[in-house]
Structure 1
């Protein structure tokens, strides 16, 4: 494994690119964004909103895809309070909420005065799908994540609301397959969060095409006819997850630290991805496959934004990155109806033998960042 010279991201992250100086694309993007004329970008957003505001009379002006988290609060704040739009919020419901997450979700609607349409996925089928996705590709939340991308577009078509607001372009800003910045989120479905596979990959006696309606992406003809225009808000405003959290707290958002509900293993913050328990098995699965997990993601982001040094980032990664939260795992297994023994039997095949070696029954990184010459 090789690591970025500025942050702590390894070259095993899918789609990541290092330049000749050994610096990852995400770090270069962070440098470039310091030179952006944000006032100009903000005016572009105002002009875009002018085009859609009141287009449907007293009807909704736009759709905002939300989870209820800090970034959702920020998105609604910008579009409702600053842009004076009338947004419809759409959400794919969690299989199991944290109390903190459910509070934040309800707070967002009550504080900003917005309607929400929430999709409750078929739990009977989801249990089968999540386990099958874990066994086949090591990505248990494929079904849920796909719905997150499909549902806002489908609602835009069904309700004739062309403008759809997403938060940040994770593939561009965090290092991925998209290396050019764009405000359009039309290709978001291809950012590799949800692997592209043929439907036959999933079909069996338990899962049929009728079960997949909520994750079938609209056709290009449907999207074109409805003039759907999905955008990344992070293109138009100076996006910073930590500052989003600070603003969200002014409008009632609470972190896990505020509520004391859950001290998570493997995480170095208490305010991101806090709405569900079992979902967090998914980001941890990057660790056996790619040698890094959530602590690496957050530490790298903090380094880029100047909140910590690279040396501190390495310490955080060493202490936290390998840990799978016990409460998250229990919640996931309770939902899918399998045992912890069955889980670890499945995971064993996903440990990347090029990156890990088994020592006394424990998989350990062969060449972690803290053992490399800095």
Structure 2
């Protein structure tokens, strides 16, 4: 792939020429900038109205919030408890790949806010097993479209959060989904239009096209279809996010609320408040505070860089530029620094899961990928 620092990039945002299905006009502006629609927020008053409607003196909790130790879930918890004075149950998935600092952040937040927290693990080490299987399957036929398969077990989190809501008779699950995080190029890789509304994931064309795109990719690499992985894949399809089929139609009595669909996500405020009020930190060895909480993110960065010469950050910051939140110059500086690969983290992850890559390499191209993976230094 091309050197990411020397790629042609959109003259308005920062998407590179390697982004799937990208085109440029005579002024160098990409098609995604031309079709982009700014985020519309429903307003904080509407958010409060909805949240307060679920207050019940007879209930121990007003709402349930999933927490990972990352910045947005920490801010969401802070906002609900301190600003809106809600009784919140925090639910944490004990991800086997969680960065140690994320665990510290959760403990600090729980102590600072004095909220109850419940934690759960997935049974039979299914997360480690599916990750190992899917990564070694990917090595047999590297494709950027199937990189999200590394995180298929994370799709089991939402059903568990729902179960806790049911247990405590809570009708409201709040999340910190950030509109800028809905990575457009993942849809393009599955032949789903970028401007398709993410809230129609399974009820309209996105669901049909998305499922077809995923099925097509899996058929190209049937090794993904291991009996161990199929139940997880089905659950992931049903509960991929709060707008998918499972939450919408199998649990209709529970309302799912993304606070950043009502109020703008403001990075400076988010980081300032959680650092000051929750003693939150991100590891100093990383230049970005985004998605550090799971170590698999470093491997996914590597995989995207090797197949597309870009990462999710290129897309994330491009949206922020289009929204006028940051300048293009700021975005360029960020991706130059934050797209540096953390190979030591990748090596530790693979070692921890006992992945032997050599046996899965079958041709010269994959041998090159392996050598790069094992020889490259942390920049």
TM-score normalised by length of structure 1: 0.70
In the alignment, which residue of structure 1 is the partner of 2:376?
none
For the 8 Å contact 1:6–1:27, the answer to whether it is kept is: no
2:149 is the counterpart of 1:166: no
Question: 1:16-69: per-residue Cα shift (whole Å, max 9, x none)?
Answer: 89899536359944xx45xx6x7x711101110121111x71321111122122
In the alignment, which residue of structure 1 is the partner of 2:255?
229
In the alignment, which residue of structure 1 is the partner of 2:344?
327
2:312 is the counterpart of 1:252: no
2:319 is the counterpart of 1:310: no
Structure 1 residues 315 and 234 mapped into 2: Cα distance closer, same or farther (>3 Å)? closer
In the alignment, which residue of structure 2 is the partner of 1:99?
100
Structure 1 residues 75 and 334 mapped into 2: Cα distance closer, same or farther (>3 Å)? same
Question: 1:278-323: per-residue Cα shift (whole Å, max 9, x none)?
Answer: 44212432223333115524553664576764345445545653x4
Q: How does 1:350-361 map to 2 (within 5 A)?
A: none
Higher normalized helix content (fraction of residues): 2
- The Cα shift of 1:249 comes to 0.7
Query: Which ranges in structure 2 are unaligned for 5 or more consecutive residues?
Result: 1-6, 139-145, 188-192, 240-244, 374-379
For the 8 Å contact 2:171–2:254, the answer to whether it is kept is: yes
Q: How does 1:77-226 map to 2 (within 5 A)?
A: 77-122=78-123, 124-134=125-135, 135-136=137-138, 137-139=146-148, 141-170=150-179, 175=184, 179=195, 204=226, 209=231, 217=238, 223=249, 226=252
Query: Which ranges in structure 1 are unaligned for 5 or more consecutive residues?
Result: 352-357, 364-374
For the 8 Å contact 2:238–2:246, the answer to whether it is kept is: no
Question: 1:77-112: per-residue Cα shift (whole Å, max 9, x none)?
Answer: 221122221111222222144332111011111111
Structure 1 residues 341 and 313 mapped into 2: Cα distance closer, same or farther (>3 Å)? farther
Mapped partners of 1:11, 1:214: distance in 2: 35
2:25 is the counterpart of 1:7: no
Question: 1:124-170: per-residue Cα shift (whole Å, max 9, x none)?
Answer: 33332112212244445333321234332343344432211111244
The total of aligned residue pairs comes to 337
Greater relative CO, 1 or 2 (CA 8 Å, sep 6+): 2
In the alignment, which residue of structure 2 is the partner of 1:46?
48
Mapped partners of 1:48, 1:313: distance in 2: 35
2:300 is the counterpart of 1:288: no
In the alignment, which residue of structure 1 is the partner of 2:353?
336
Mapped partners of 2:70, 2:121: distance in 1: 18
Question: 1:260-290: per-residue Cα shift (whole Å, max 9, x none)?
Answer: 4xx23xxx42x22232434421243222333
TM-score normalised by length of structure 2: 0.69
* Residue of 263, 266, 276 corresponding to 1:240: 266
Structure 1 residues 276 and 57 mapped into 2: Cα distance closer, same or farther (>3 Å)? same
For the 8 Å contact 2:130–2:153, the answer to whether it is kept is: no
In the alignment, which residue of structure 1 is the partner of 2:4?
none
Cα RMSD of the aligned pairs, angstroms, is 4.5
In the alignment, which residue of structure 1 is the partner of 2:30?
22
- The Cα shift of 1:345 comes to 6.9
In the alignment, which residue of structure 2 is the partner of 1:273?
291
Mapped partners of 1:254, 1:44: distance in 2: 28
